[in-house]
Amino acid sequence: MDILVILENNQGSLHRLSKEAIVAAQKLGKSVTALVMGSDSDKIVGHLTGYDLEKVITVGHDLVSSYNADGYSEVVRQVTESCSPNIIVAGHTYQTRDFMPRVSAKLGVPFIPDIVSLSDQGFIKQVLNAKLNAEMSSTSERLIISFQSAAFSEEELRPGSCSVEAFEATLDASGVRSISEEPFQEEAGDVDLDSAEILVSVGRGIEKEENVPLAFDLAKAMGAEVSASRPVVDSGWVESFRQVGSSGSNVAPKLYFSLGISGAIQHVVGMKGAKNIMAINKDPDAPIFEIADYAVIGDVLEIVPKLTEALDRS
Ligand SMILES: Cc1cc2nc3c(=O)[nH]c(=O)nc-3n(C[C@H](O)[C@H](O)[C@H](O)COP(=O)(O)OP(=O)(O)OC[C@H]3O[C@@H](n4cnc5c(N)ncnc54)[C@H](O)[C@@H]3O)c2cc1C
């Protein structure tokens, strides 16, 4: 099975979901080719040379020096026609959601997006607000698939080597009608939840806005960033960029420390990729304990100040 994995160039660094997509590609087929576009492709290639890939294809055309859906979809079409992969794989990022349907239409091949795992028969997708798992398969000779955040862990990346090849795409300015704005830059002082190694995440169990500083104090003592569940954001107790979940960020820190979060599926989809999950909740039956590595049954308002004090003393 020949696999083409489309990588996302995050201003010269490889998007975490692209690394997870490579893991998926390595599990799916023997021959994995990676495609990277954009002006900083060289930096991405530097990240890739230690992975077990058949080859890395770079496209340095001016019309795809930065992301635009028309140019990217046309390049993927041309590379696909040249390499003839059986499966085209990508991480399910905002960019993938934007341009991959166009690739599907241009090539006339089905696209199964947002897959959470592989099965013997095909691919598992969550449906009905993640209440059910559906198994999908295709009889098409070629298929496009994308994987949900944390479907695989980048730690499973198979090391090895690869060759690098430049692809001469034929692009015409008249065919690149969509223009993307500059990538969104968070304001100075905003946090990047995606790259935080430790997150202290505050839920409605914190009870009221005046108690939220307890989470920030604990985060400071642990060298962590603060994230939150949606009700805490909706109440205006913390900024919206801190929200984790299906309508917030997807995170994969080394430690996710949840304080008074129930573990609703819309929250869990955003943090289930954490390497370790520690949860404090006063309800022993809280769903968060089903996925927690460390469970503390108790009152956050009692435990958190004591923990912060102990960490500050140590
Ligand atoms: C379309 C859609 C999208 C959504 N997107 C998101 C999203 O992106 N992110 C998100 O988080 N949610 C999202 N939600 C909401 C989600 O369904 C849950 O309602 C939400 O995650 C619950 O947040 P919570 O766990 O903080 O609050 P609750 O569910 O109210 O849980 C509070 C928990 O705190 C515990 N508790 C209470 N007091 C204490 C105490 N003193 N000490 C210890 N524990 C205590 C309780 O036992 C309870 O388990 C979405 C919902 C929908 C319908």
**The domain spanning residue 197 has which CATH number?**
3.40.50.1220
The residue count for the chain: 314
Q: Is 182 a domain residue?
A: no
Average pLDDT over every residue of 165-178 = 93
140 and 55 fall within a common domain: yes
State if residue 299 touches ligand 1 by the CB under 6 angstroms criterion.
Answer: yes
State if residue 95 touches ligand 1 by the CB under 6 angstroms criterion.
Answer: no
Q: Is 221 a domain residue?
A: yes
Please check whether residue 45 is in contact with residue 18, taking contact to mean a CB–CB distance below 8 angstroms. Answer: no
At 180, the pLDDT band (50, 70, 90 cuts) reads: confident
**Which strands make up the sheet holding 132-136, listed edge to edge?**
132-136, 123-127, 111-118, 143-147, 87-91, 2-6, 31-37, 55-59, 163-166
Q: Is 188 a domain residue?
A: no
pLDDT for res 127:
85
How many domains in the chain? Answer: 2
Q: Which of 175, 208, 234 is the last residue of a domain?
A: 175
Predicted confidence (pLDDT) per residue in 45-86, tens digit: 998 989 999 999 999 999 999 999 999 999 999 999 999 999
Residue 196 tokens read as 């935080």
Could you tell me the CATH number of the domain that includes residue 150? 3.40.50.620
Q: What percent of the chain has pLDDT over 90?
A: 77
Q: Which atom of ligand 1 is nearest to the CA of 231?
A: 23
At 184, the pLDDT band (50, 70, 90 cuts) reads: low
Q: What is the mean pLDDT of the chain?
A: 93
Exposure pattern of 288-301 as b/e (b: 16+ CB <10 Å)?
A: bbebbeebbeeebb
From 149, 281, 289, give the residue whose CB has the most ligand 1 atoms within 8 Å, as the site to mutate.
281
State if residue 268 touches ligand 1 by the CB under 6 angstroms criterion.
Answer: no
pLDDT for res 68:
95
107 and 72 fall within a common domain: yes
At 187, the pLDDT band (50, 70, 90 cuts) reads: low
pLDDT for res 190:
64
Most confident of 114-118, 152-156, 177-181: 114-118
State if residue 18 touches ligand 1 by the CB under 6 angstroms criterion.
Answer: no
Q: Which of 125, 145, 175 is the last residue of a domain?
A: 175
pLDDT for res 153:
87
pTM of the model: 0.78
239 and 204 fall within a common domain: yes
From 212, 227, 229, give the residue whose CB has the most ligand 1 atoms within 8 Å, as the site to mutate.
229
pLDDT of 185 > 70? The answer is no
Predicted confidence (pLDDT) per residue in 133-142, tens digit: 899 999 999 9
Q: Which atom of ligand 1 is nearest to the CA of 228?
A: 11
List CB contacts of 88: < 8 A, sequence separation 6 or more. 3, 4, 5, 6, 76, 80, 103, 109, 142, 143, 144, 145
42 and 139 fall within a common domain: yes
Q: Is 187 a domain residue?
A: no
- 75 CA to middle of ligand 1, Å? 42
pLDDT for res 230:
97
Q: Is 246 a domain residue?
A: yes
- The CB-side HSE value for 209 (13 A sphere, CA atoms) comes to 7
150 and 251 fall within a common domain: no
Work out the burial of residue 224: count CB atoms within 10 Å of its CB; fewer than 13 is exposed, 13-18 middle, 19 or more buried. buried
Residue 2's CB is within 10 A of a number of other CB atoms, namely 16
81 and 118 fall within a common domain: yes
pLDDT for res 89:
98
19 and 155 fall within a common domain: yes
Q: Whose CA is nearest to atom 50 of ligand 1?
A: 266
Q: Which sign, positive or negative, has the C-alpha torsion 149, 151, 156, 161? A: negative
From 129, 199, 282, give the residue whose CB has the most ligand 1 atoms within 8 Å, as the site to mutate.
282
116 and 219 fall within a common domain: no
The whole domain housing 218 covers 193-313
From 230, 235, 249, 259, give the residue whose CB has the most ligand 1 atoms within 8 Å, as the site to mutate.
230
Predicted confidence (pLDDT) per residue in 21-50, tens digit: 999 999 998 899 999 999 889 999 998 989
pLDDT of 188 > 60? The answer is no
16 and 150 fall within a common domain: yes
State if residue 29 touches ligand 1 by the CB under 6 angstroms criterion.
Answer: no
131 and 214 fall within a common domain: no
Please check whether residue 101 is in contact with residue 71, taking contact to mean a CB–CB distance below 8 angstroms. Answer: no
168 and 197 fall within a common domain: no
Q: Is 249 a domain residue?
A: yes
Query: In the block, which residue shows the tokens 């603060």?
Result: 226
- CA dist., res. 128 & res. 138, Å (int): 21
Average pLDDT over every residue of 81-95 = 95
**DSSP states of 75-142 as a string?**
HHHHHHHHH--SEEEEE--HHHHHHHHHHHHHHT--EEEEEEEE-SSSEEEEETTTTEEEEE---SSS
Taking the mean position of all CA atoms in its chain, how far away is CA 288? Answer: 21
108 and 213 fall within a common domain: no
Q: Is 133 a domain residue?
A: yes
Q: Which of 175, 207, 235 is the last residue of a domain?
A: 175
Q: Is 36 a domain residue?
A: yes
